[in-house]
Amino acid sequence: MGPCCSRRIYDEEDGKFKFRFIGDRRYHGLSDSEYFGPNDDEEAIRLISYHKAMKDIWGGLFNSPIEEKLKQGARVVDFGCGTGTWILDMANQYPNSKFVGVDLSPLFPKEAQWEEKVIPEMIRLTRPDGWIEILESDAFITSDGNATQRIAMAFQNFMTPKGMNCAIGKDLPHIFENTNAFSEIKNEQKSVILGKKGGKTGQEDSKGNVSCDIFSLDLPRTPSPQYLNASNPEFNLVNSGDFEGIYLSNPVAIKNYIYVFGGQGTKEGTFKNDFYKIRMDSSPIIIERLNNTAAPSPRERLTLVTDKEGKIYIFGGWDGTGKDNAMYIFDSNNGVWTMVRSKNAPDMIWGYAPVFTDDRILYIGGNHYASIRYMPFDSIPVFNIKTNDWERINTTTDMPVAGRCAHVVILDNNKKRVIVYGGDIDRTYESTNGGLAILDLLTKKWTQPNIEGKRPDYIPFRPTATYFNDYIFVAFGKRNDIPSAEFNILDIYNDTLKWVER
Average pLDDT over residues 447-461: 85
Dump pLDDT digits (tens) for 46-101. 777 777 777 877 778 888 889 899 999 999 988 877 777 788 788 888 989 988 88
Q: In the chain, how many domains are there?
A: 1
Which of 327-334's residues contact partners 24+ apart within 8 Å by CB, and which partners? Answer: 327/383, 327/388, 328/295, 328/296, 330/259, 330/275, 330/290, 330/295, 332/254, 332/257, 332/259, 332/277, 332/306, 333/309
Q: How many CB atoms lie within 10 A of CB 423?
A: 29
**Taking a C-beta distance cutoff of 8 angstroms, is the pair 138, 170 a contact?**
yes
Whole-angstrom CA distances from 277 to 2, 251, 271, 286 are 28, 10, 19, 8
* pLDDT above 90: percentage of residues in the chain: 26
Tell me whether residue 196 is in a domain: yes
Q: Is 68 exposed, middle or buried (0-12, 13-18, 19+ CB in 10 A)?
A: exposed
Lowest mean pLDDT among 21-35, 246-260, 267-281, 403-417: 21-35
Directed axis angle between helix 85-93 and helix 41-58, to 10°? 50
SS (H, E, C) 117-164: HHHHHHHHHCCCCCCCCCCCCCCCCCCCCHHHHHHHHHHHHHHHHHCC
Tell me whether residue 69 is in a domain: yes
pLDDT of residue 392: 96
Nearest CA-CA partner of 407 in 399, 398, 416, 419? 419
Tell me whether residue 403 is in a domain: no
Tell me whether residue 181 is in a domain: yes
Phi first, then psi, for residue 11 (nearest 5°) are -100, 115
Indicate whether 331 pLDDT > 80. Answer: yes
Query: CA 337, CA 494: separation in Å to the nearest integer?
Result: 41
Domain of residue 158: give its range.
10-202
Tell me whether residue 250 is in a domain: no
Dump pLDDT digits (tens) for 215-234. 787 776 656 666 666 666 77
The whole-angstrom distance between residue 294's C-alpha and the CA centroid of its chain comes to 28
Tell me whether residue 188 is in a domain: yes
Dump pLDDT digits (tens) for 122-169. 888 888 888 888 887 776 666 555 556 666 666 677 667 666 777 777
Tell me whether residue 134 is in a domain: yes
Tell me whether residue 325 is in a domain: no
